[in-house]
Amino acid sequence: MLLLSIESSCDDTSFAVGSFKKGRLKLEASIISSQTKIHQKYGGVVPNLSAREHLKNFKPLLSQVLKRAGVDLRDIDGISIVPGPGLIPSLLVGVAIAKTLAYSLGKPLIPIHHIEGHIYSNWLAIPEDMNKISFPALALVVSGGHTQLIFMKDHLEYETVGETKDDAAGEAFDKVARMLGLGYPGGPAISKLASMGDAGAFAFPRGMIGSGDLNFSFSGLKTAVLYTIRKNEDIKNTDAFLADVSASFQQAVIDVLIKKTATAIKSFSPRSLLLAGGVSANTELRNAFVELLPQSAYIPPLEYCGDNAAMQLPAAFKKAEINGLDAYRDGWSSVSATANLRLGLA
């Protein structure tokens, strides 16, 4: 089975082609076109600009991914697309393109929830044996818009058992980076500085760490960083201060993420742990996460931590395997862009 996947939920335009045979996934081609440079000067993603770029990118990137995969559009058995959650102008472009392709080619259209895609990016790390990850599984999702603990009894079954009450982890990285004058996106800049700083330099709060439940809060931490910057006006632009604040902030985020995941492991006894979302690119978090269950913790390959189309493929193949491709024949008419789409509804 050969699938084409399309990602346009935020500011990355991405296409991938993958084939699936006897439990093995072959990523035939993957292209991720980042718009970071366009949005950087605004300090964040501008939805309408992002939609315009997706539209411009669509034709050349589609031709390129097919060429790299060495396939013709007619060879594709189905198409997958993210209908949400995401920025509505961006989602609308990708969904319109996917629906048009599916309708005109007579191909099934498989909707993949954006977070479902991030979770399934873990299967891109084990393409040779897609059955290696055992269930039940527990996923820690950490992206720009989401921070959640999700329990999966089996493939495609999701129960949210914990989530943030305010900012998402990635959002906290981005906001703190802005306070420190590090630009957008903040995560990569903070983690780079953090590697040169002292994580014990500032005692930042670990929000809700002792709350007894599996929820998160990062807004208090963000405020604490703001006060620390204000108290240190004279040194706030020095390399040492920026590195120490970055390291201390990053450690506070990681401590909470790891503690809550450890609590969830005790409650749910998962057979596998999965890390997902843009913040999963963070080296310190990756290292601490793997230590939670050394034999059965999975992390996505670095190039597929951020938004990309390839991460949809394992989920799309599973949907086709479980429900049959024919279940998605009328996808061209039933799939629609939904900014706040809930997990499990795509």
Stretch that binds ligand KG4, among 138-146, 207-215, 216-224, 237-245 (CB under 6 A): 138-146
- Residues in contact with Zn ion, total (CB under 5 A)? 2
Q: Does 217 bind Zn ion (CB under 5 A)?
A: no
- Residues in contact with ligand KG4, total (CB under 6 A)? 20
Q: Which does residue 89 touch among Zn ion, ligand KG4, none (CB within 5 to 8 A, set by kind)?
A: none
- Give min distance, CB of 295 to ligand KG4, in A: 25
Interior/surface letters 143-178, b for 16+ CB within 10 angstroms, e for the rest: bbbbbbbbbbeebbebebbbebebbbbbbbbbbbbe
- Give min distance, CB of 308 to ligand KG4, in A: 8
Q: Does 12 bind Zn ion (CB under 5 A)?
A: no
Q: Which is nearer to Zn ion, 141 or 243 (CB)?
A: 141
- Give min distance, CB of 153 to ligand KG4, in A: 24
Q: Can you tell me which of 141, 307, 309, 313 binds Zn ion, judged by CB under 5 A?
A: 307
Q: What is the DSSP string of 65-127?
A: HHHHHT--GGG--EEEE---SS-HHHHHHHHHHHHHHHHHHT--EEE--HHHHHHHGGGGG-T
Q: Which is nearer to ligand KG4, 197 or 277 (CB)?
A: 277
Residue 231's Cβ-side half-sphere holds a number of Cα atoms within 13 Å equal to: 9
What separation in angstroms does the CA of 230 have from each of 130, 246, 255? 50, 15, 24
Structure tokens at 346: 């795509």
Closest CA to 10 of 156, 184, 152: 184
User: Could you say which residues in the range 50-109 bind ligand KG4, by CB under 6 A?
Assistant: none
- Three-state DSSP state, 268: helix
Q: Does 35 bind ligand KG4 (CB under 6 A)?
A: no
- Give min distance, CB of 128 to Zn ion, in A: 26
Q: What are phi and psi of 41, to 5 degrees?
A: -70, -15
Write down the H helix ranges in the chain: 36-40, 47-69, 88-105, 114-120, 169-179, 186-194, 219-231, 239-268, 283-292, 312-323, 331-334
- Give min distance, CB of 143 to Zn ion, in A: 4
User: Could you say which residues in the range 144-203 bind ligand KG4, by CB under 6 A?
Assistant: 144-145, 170-171, 173-174, 185-188, 191
Q: Which is nearer to ligand KG4, 111 or 145 (CB)?
A: 145
- Give min distance, CB of 279 to ligand KG4, in A: 4
Q: Which is nearer to ligand KG4, 188 or 301 (CB)?
A: 188
Q: Is 261 exposed, middle or buried (0-12, 13-18, 19+ CB in 10 A)?
A: buried
Contact at 8 Å (CB) between 118 and 131? no
Structure tokens at 86: 């995401």
User: Could you say which residues in the range 137-156 bind Zn ion, by CB under 5 A?
Assistant: 143
> Would you give the end-to-end CA distance of the chain in angstroms?
21
Q: Does 338 bind Zn ion (CB under 5 A)?
A: no
User: Could you say which residues in the range 270-289 bind ligand KG4, by CB under 6 A?
Assistant: 277-279, 281-282
- Give min distance, CB of 44 to ligand KG4, in A: 10
Q: Does 47 bind ligand KG4 (CB under 6 A)?
A: no
Q: Which residues bind ligand KG4 (CB under 6 A)?
A: 10, 143-145, 170-171, 173-174, 185-188, 191, 277-279, 281-282, 306-307
In the complex, the residues that contact Zn ion under the rule CB under 5 A are 143, 307
